[in-house]
Every structure is written in structure tokens, then in C-alpha cells.
Amino acid sequence: MKTALKLLVLLLVPALAGLLWLAWPDLREAPVEQSRAAPAGAAQIERGAYLARAGNCVACHTQAGQAPYAGGRPIGTPFGEVFSTNLTPDPETGLGSWTPGEFWRAMHHGRSRDGRLLYPAFPYTSYTRVSRQDSDAIFAYLQSLAPVQAPRREPALRFPYNTQFALRAWRALYFRPGEYRQDTQRTPEWNRGAYLVEGLGHCNACHTARNALGGIELDRNYGGGPIPSLGWEAPPLAPAGLMSDAQAAEMVELLQAGTSRHGVATGPMAEVVLHSLQHLQTTDLAAMVSYIRSLPPAAGAPAPRRPRVSEARRQELMRQGETVYREHCADCHGDRGQGRDYVYPALAGNRMLTGASAGNAIRSVLMGGYGPSTATHPQPHGMPSFAQRLTPEEIAAVLTYARGSWGNQATAVSPVEVERR
């Protein structure tokens, strides 16, 4: 009898603890109030439009060629695809019959109107920091859009990731709902920046490496890492060491214009500037940078495993690369990698070029690209694609050279890495 009781306790206690753990993120969820929105004023709608820009809602919630905010865009994850939803006020397929309380619950707790847990491809791990007042303003703005009928598309995720149980476990591990709390030791500017970066900006959705379960590990926060679904790597958000005032001013410039004296926003970052950051007030961007420059250095993703290049081979690639560089790159990027101010990015001291992995740089040379077209820089210059003009060996050589010259001290690039891209 006694042993049976013991056994029961032994089984029950972990089971109860497990259930408590799974329910943990939901314990702080207040019951959702059902009151309808008071009619929104023009000022609230305008503020909501601005905040929706800061959250870049339109980028994910718009399918190419379709009405803005009508959803249906596939968002890739390592576990399959999730589709964004219709945020227009269509009563059947959009948010038309939602209350502000239900909208807040989605933003703050990651829970849909019908109680379903939402997939964190919707970055509510960040949006949970948004204040109720700002959530209401975004809702008022979305309700002011023209309704579009666009039914929900079922996620296409592999088992077991498509279950509510898996979501529960994921949330218990990686989701802590909670509004942003002011740090009274810091300036109002810093707090505003922290609120935007940690909340609507969801910068760590890309600038922090994710683990095998797609969780953001906060001890690596802003340390940079690969974005598997996009095939790009995000650099660490704050450069290692102190950021000078000049560097901070240049970062504001980059976020606003997409092009700065020495740099260009490319790939996924170009889209963030295009749809979101260029529309923000300079004071808000400066606040974001004042927060970013205060971030402690964080360990990035574990260094990717890359083919080893012997020292003799590296020397050979350096020599070959110098020739390729003079012939194909120096006209734009300068004979010492200095670039041309506001036109061609500098390669000397370029963090995107000199990261632990050479993935972004290989991608740039193979595919070419453009910075975003912004109000400040409507016609950014382009980088030609070299996929047809240079062999993998030549690309590896020129990148080995650029990563190892003019003060850059990054490792060599092997032709095998270029071929794998």
C-alpha cells in the first residue's frame, strides 16, 4: 500500500509540475474584456499608423501583389511555413469583429480571438512589451483600413510542431509576457529606444541567433547569427567595444536613409529600412541607437563549421584575390577598400564582410543587390552580380583578400563555401 502511494506521489508530482510549467506563460493572462472600441479620433489613428510602421506589420501581413494588410504571406520557419493573417476590418476573415481587448491579447499573450495559441513567427515575444495604449492605437488604425476579404490559410508545419501542445511547451521555454518597464536609472531617450527596439522593432527576431527549437536565447541577445529561413546572417547589433558618437550618428543615418557614409543596408535589412525605419522620426531612431550602443557585448551564434584553409593556400588565395579585386571591384569599392562616401560601401572595417561566417559576403558577390530606395536616397547604387563572371575559386580569392586586407582580419574563404551557396 505504502509503495503504491509513494509511486503515485512520484508520478503525480512531476506531472503536476509539468502542467504548471506548461501553463506558466498563461497564468498571468487576465480575462479578456469584451467592450467595443470607443470611436477612434483622427489623432489616435495617425499614431496607430506610425506605430504599425515601427512594428513593420505591413511587411509580413502583405502578400506580394495583394492588398496591404490582407495577410496570406508565407513566413518560412525551420519547421515549415506559417501564413500571416488578414488584419483588415473584414468581419468574417479579418479583424472586423474583434474588440481592442482581443487584439491586445494577441499582441501581449500571443493568443487568437478563439483562444488558439499563435505561432511565434508572429513576433509576439517582442510585441508583448508594447503598452496597452499603443496596442489600442494600432488597432484603431487597422480598423480604419478598407476591409478586404481574404480567408486564413492553415499553417503547413511538420508534426509535432503543428500541435498546440508543442506551442505550449515552446512558450513555457521561451515566452515571458510582460509590458516594457521603464528603467528609472536611465534617460527618457534611452527608455524610448529600449521600448522601440525590444518591442515594436522586434530587432532581436533577426539579430539574435535561435537555437534548434527556434527559441531566442537571451544570453545571446543581439549577438547576431544566421537567419535560416532567409539565408542571411545578421551581424551583432552593437559593434564590439564602445561606439563613438560619430559611429552612433552614422547608425542613425543608416537606419533612416538605408545608406550612410560607409555602409548600406542590404537584403532583409533593406526591407526593414524600406517599410519601417525610414518612416520613423529622427528622434526615435536616435533613441534606438542610444539604447543599442549601451548593449553589453553578447556571444553570437556558435561559429559555423567551415572548410579549413591551410596557411599556404590562404597566401595563394590572397595573391589571386588581389588581382581579381583590382580588376572587378576597386573601381567602386576603392583601391584600399575605402568605398565612396554615400555611394559605395567601404569594405575596410565592414562588419558584414568580416563576420565569423562569410555567407552574406558570398551572397552579395554572387547575386549583387541594391540598398533600399528611401526619401533621403531615392536612387541607391547597385552591386552587380558576379555569378556568371567569376568562378567560385575567384570569388573565394577576392573575398579572402577583402576579408584579410586594409586592417580586416577575418579568416579565408574556401571555394567549397562559394559552391555550396
Binding residues for heme c: 57, 60-61, 203, 206-207, 329, 332-333
- Residue showing cell 527559441: 215
Which CB sits closer to ligand HEC, 309 or 352? 352
Does position 138 bind ligand HEC by CB under 6 A? Answer: yes
Residues 93-122 that bind ligand HEC (CB under 6 A): 103, 106, 112-113, 118-119, 121-122
Which letter does DSSP use for residue 2 in this model? H
How far apart (Å, rounded) are the C-alpha atoms in residues 121 and 63? 15
Binding residues among 273-292 for ligand HEC as defined by CB under 6 A: 288
Residues 190-229, one symbol each (x = binds ligand HEC by CB under 6 A, - = not), give -------x--xxxx-xxx-------------------x--
Paired strand residues for 130: none
CA distances (Å), origin 344, targets 98, 259, 264, 340, 389: 48, 9, 8, 5, 20
When binding is defined by CB under 6 A, the residue of 25, 123, 199, 392 that contacts ligand HEC is 123
β-partners of residue 234 are 225
Cα–Cα distance measured from residue 190 to residue 373, given in angstroms and rounded to the nearest whole number: 29
Window 12 to 51, contacts with ligand HEC (CB under 6 A):
none
Cβ distance to ligand HEC smaller for residue 184 or 409: 409
Of 190, 222, 291, 344, the one binding ligand HEC by CB under 6 A: 344
Q: Which of residues 369-398 bind ligand HEC (CB under 6 A)?
A: 369-371, 381-384, 386, 398
Size of the site for ligand HEC (CB under 6 A): 74
Of residues 148, 352, 413, 418, which one binds ligand HEC by CB under 6 A?
352
Long-range (24+ apart) CB contacts under 8 A made by 407-410 are 407/348, 407/349, 408/337, 408/347, 408/348, 408/349, 408/350, 408/353, 408/354, 409/354, 410/353, 410/354, 410/355, 410/358
Show contacts with ligand HEC in window 167-186 (CB under 6 A).
none
Q: Which of residues 49-88 bind ligand HEC (CB under 6 A)?
A: 52, 55-57, 59-61, 75, 82, 84-85, 87
Which one of 28-36, 182-190, 208-216, 352-360 is the stretch in contact with ligand HEC (CB under 6 A)?
A: 352-360
Contact status: 329 vs ligand HEC (CB under 6 A): yes
Give the residue, chosen from 80, 228, 268, 334, that forms a contact with ligand HEC under the rule CB under 6 A.
Answer: 268
C-alpha span between 74 and 76 (Å, rounded): 6
The span from the CA of 202 to the CA of 402, in Å, is 32
Stretch binding ligand HEC (CB under 6 A), from 39-47, 156-164, 264-272, 405-413: 264-272
Would you count residue 361 as binding ligand HEC (CB under 6 A)? yes
For position 155 contacting ligand HEC by CB under 6 A, the verdict is yes
Q: Which of 128, 290, 364, 374 binds ligand HEC (CB under 6 A)?
A: 364
**Nearest approach, Cβ of residue 416 and ligand HEC (Å):** 18
Contacts 24+ apart (CB under 8 A), 70-79: 70/94, 70/148, 70/150, 71/150, 71/152, 71/153, 72/150, 72/153, 75/121, 75/229, 76/229, 76/230, 77/119, 77/121, 77/157, 77/214, 77/229, 78/214, 78/228, 78/229, 79/157, 79/158, 79/161, 79/214
Q: Say which residues have a Cβ less than 8 Å from residue 277's Cβ, sequence separation at least 6.
A: 255, 256, 285
Which residue lies nearer to ligand HEC by CB, 203 or 356? 203
